[in-house]
Structure 1
Amino acid sequence: MAYIGKRGIVLSVLAAVLVWAFRTSPALVLSPQLKEWKQSGKFFSHGQFKVFYHDETGKGEAGEVVLCIHGFPSSSHDWVKVWDGLQGRFGRVIASDLLGFGFSDKPLDHNYSIFEQASIIEKLLETLEVKEVYILSHDYGDTVALELLRRFLDRQKSSEKSAAHLRITSVCLLNGGFLPETITFQWVQYLLTTSFGPYLSRLSNLLPFSFRRSIGKVFGPDTKPTPAEYDDHQTLLRWNDGHLAMGSISQYQNERVAHRERWVEAVQQSTIPVHLIYGPADPVNTPVLLDRYRELFPRATDTVLNSKIGHYPHVEDPQSVLTAFFNFLEKVASFKQSSSPGKM
């Protein structure tokens, strides 16, 4: 009886901790960097929801616009280390926090979808009167980018006048599981898709070391985030109770499987250049991704970074990413020139 009593006490304490972790969490404090990012951005409406975005001018030609699409479970703030470099090359740089991420609204009972995220971006660009973009995307954003590419190609084939819709000049992907057969799931990624997801996320507030460990594992061995960067990542994740929506958002993994052919065919049939910038020390998107990418898309190109760069190349080695991206853009410019009317 004494044993049962002790076990009951332990279970009761554990249950109380879980309930407390689920119902309470530390107050959010924005770092100076996040405050500046939020204050310099804007919001636009998607139905009843507010979506955060950045739209800034650069030093390049006015018609040259780059659209940056972030990954999971991140935000547009991921692009801050390459932002100045992009402004030096383009006339306009745009990035939004997708619905459920960053400073955007994060409805808990929402049926999150790659298709809706693509539609939100199209609406944002229409609102900003942007007609043509270069796309730079990462992770989850890669699949959103491929859906935008598929829609662009479908319009080209149809009787619709493409001038009335978004035109895509090129697509540059960073490490992402857009080929679901190549993904090596981390245990926490699986748990987030189950009913344990909200509790696991709450416990990340109670056990910050566990949260840092799970995020840090996808970075390269020498490029781990600083303590301040970990804190910013967790703050943006928890903003508007976003950690409670991660389970719903994580269902995009099932979408990638269900609609794999739609997005694979988009690259295979692409009439515009597609490029992959790849960090090979990625435990989720291992070099199997690169091999499969080259096999499926022989006309697409790629850049392989230093062997110690992991899942977040633009955060871990921003200068190398900018160099690779700009080198790709030189090829895009040659492609545009050879494809223009009157060229033989």
Structure 2
Amino acid sequence: MAITEIPLCVWRQRGHSFEFRGQAIRYWATGQGEPLLLIHGFPTAAWDWHYLWQPLALRYRVIACDMLGFGDSAKPREHEYSLLEQADLQQALLQHLGIDAPVHLLAHDYGDSVAQELLARHYEDRSEIASCVFLNGGLFPETHRPVLTQKLLLSPLGWMLGRAFSREGLAKIFGQIFGPQTRPSESALDDFWSLVNANGGVRILHKLIGYIPERRAQRDRWVSAMQRGEVPLRVIDGAVDPISGAHMVERYRELIPDPDTVLLTDIGHYPQTEAPVQVLQHYLAFRENLELPPQQLACS
């Protein structure tokens, strides 16, 4: 299965903008068919999906944005960032694009929490979700193991650490959380850093990190939504991720009825960039299974 990289400079040229609560948001949309919303993680951006973008667009209408405070979108310094607001943003983007059909979700990391919120809203009749696939993320606060930098950003001195954060700091973290054989190239690190640093991004990292306590506050509501079982779910997870790898999947299997999980051996926290072919294969298999007709009972 061929996978083609989209260089960041090309990706940026293909983006569009819309306004969300007075802030400029960059987004991408292409393809036809059922809407598939891709939701990125912390601290990166929608470009995380660039390997999967074209193959998925051959089958679906693929949509993604840089969330508020991320990538090339606005990063207001005095803003109080919230996962709930990011879910509002995703719904506003769908409305902007005129999409009123049920939406499939493919999410990663921070984006998993946004997807969990959208899933909870589905059961509250505030959104329509057709399916959801989670990549490595903190689905359960009790299994989330943040790296030291994340812990320090949560401290009272987090604002100082954020301002001092650098490409070298990002490279060090990525060296810890990617698989041993799938770490990003120096060029890819330059691109990731460009997105983190755009629009003064390092000055708000300590504000964005508030998603960690917010996850704890919403934990029971989000887990209950996953346990309902009416929306098809799958987890595709890099097993050696120290933040939310195999140990998170073990907890998922304990708590979620009839769990559908895939573990990717030797892959870390960013499976969509470390092992895009495998992620694509497992995602398409999940979608194809949804489309199978129900078995007919033989009559005599």
Range of TM-score over shorter length: over 0.9
Is 1:202 matched with 2:163? Answer: yes
Map of 1:18 onto structure 2: none
Question: Whole-Å Cα distance in 1 between the matches of residues 105 and 88 of structure 2?
Answer: 15
> 1:2-21 maps to which residues of 2 (within 5 A)?
none
Two-structure CA RMSD over aligned residues (Å): 1.6
Map of 1:47 onto structure 2: 21
Letter in 2 for 1:71: G
Structure 2: tracts of 5 or more residues without a match = 1-5, 296-300
CA apart distance, 1:109: 1.3
- Given that residues 75 and 204 in structure 2 are in contact (C-alpha distance below 8 angstroms), is that contact kept between their aligned partners in structure 1? yes
Question: Whole-Å Cα distance in 2 between the matches of residues 63 and 133 of structure 1?
Answer: 11
Map of 1:102 onto structure 2: 71
- Given that residues 184 and 286 in structure 1 are in contact (C-alpha distance below 8 angstroms), is that contact kept between their aligned partners in structure 2? no
Map of 2:286 onto structure 1: 328
TM-score (norm. length: structure 2): 0.92
Letter in 2 for 1:187: L
Structure 1: tracts of 5 or more residues without a match = 1-31, 156-164, 340-344
Letter in 1 for 2:200: D
> 1:28-107 maps to which residues of 2 (within 5 A)?
33-57=7-31, 62-90=32-60, 92-107=61-76
Structure number with higher helix proportion: 1
CA apart distance, 1:338: 4.1
Distance 1:198 1:35, change over 3 A: farther
Q: Which residue of 79, 82, 89 maps to 1:113?
A: 82
Map of 1:9 onto structure 2: none
What SS is found at the alignment partner of 1:304?
strand
What SS is found at the alignment partner of 1:112?
coil
CA apart distance, 1:228: 0.7
CA apart distance, 1:183: 1.2
Q: Which residue of 219, 225, 237 maps to 2:184?
A: 225
Question: Whole-Å Cα distance in 2 between the matches of residues 294 and 276 of structure 1?
Answer: 10
- Given that residues 144 and 243 in structure 2 are in contact (C-alpha distance below 8 angstroms), is that contact kept between their aligned partners in structure 1? yes
Letter in 1 for 2:44: S
What SS is found at the alignment partner of 1:265?
helix
CA apart distance, 1:202: 3.3
Map of 1:147 onto structure 2: 117
What SS is found at the alignment partner of 1:217?
helix
TM-score (norm. length: structure 1): 0.81
> 1:239-318 maps to which residues of 2 (within 5 A)?
239-305=198-264, 307-318=265-276
Map of 2:92 onto structure 1: 123
Question: Whole-Å Cα distance in 1 between the matches of residues 282 and 7 of structure 2?
Answer: 26
CA apart distance, 1:66: 0.8
- Given that residues 139 and 175 in structure 1 are in contact (C-alpha distance below 8 angstroms), is that contact kept between their aligned partners in structure 2? yes
Letter in 1 for 2:224: E
Runs of 4+ residues over 6 Å off in structure 1:
none
The CA deviation string for residues 132-170 of structure 1, in whole angstroms up to 9 with x for no partner, is 211100000001001111111111xxxxxxxxx642110
Map of 2:145 onto structure 1: 184
Question: Whole-Å Cα distance in 1 between the matches of residues 170 and 272 of structure 2?
Answer: 21
Larger Rg: 1
Select between 269-278 and 219-228 the one with higher mean Cα deviation.
269-278
CA apart distance, 1:63: 3.4
Letter in 2 for 1:180: P
Distance 1:281 1:99, change over 3 A: same
CA apart distance, 1:89: 2.2
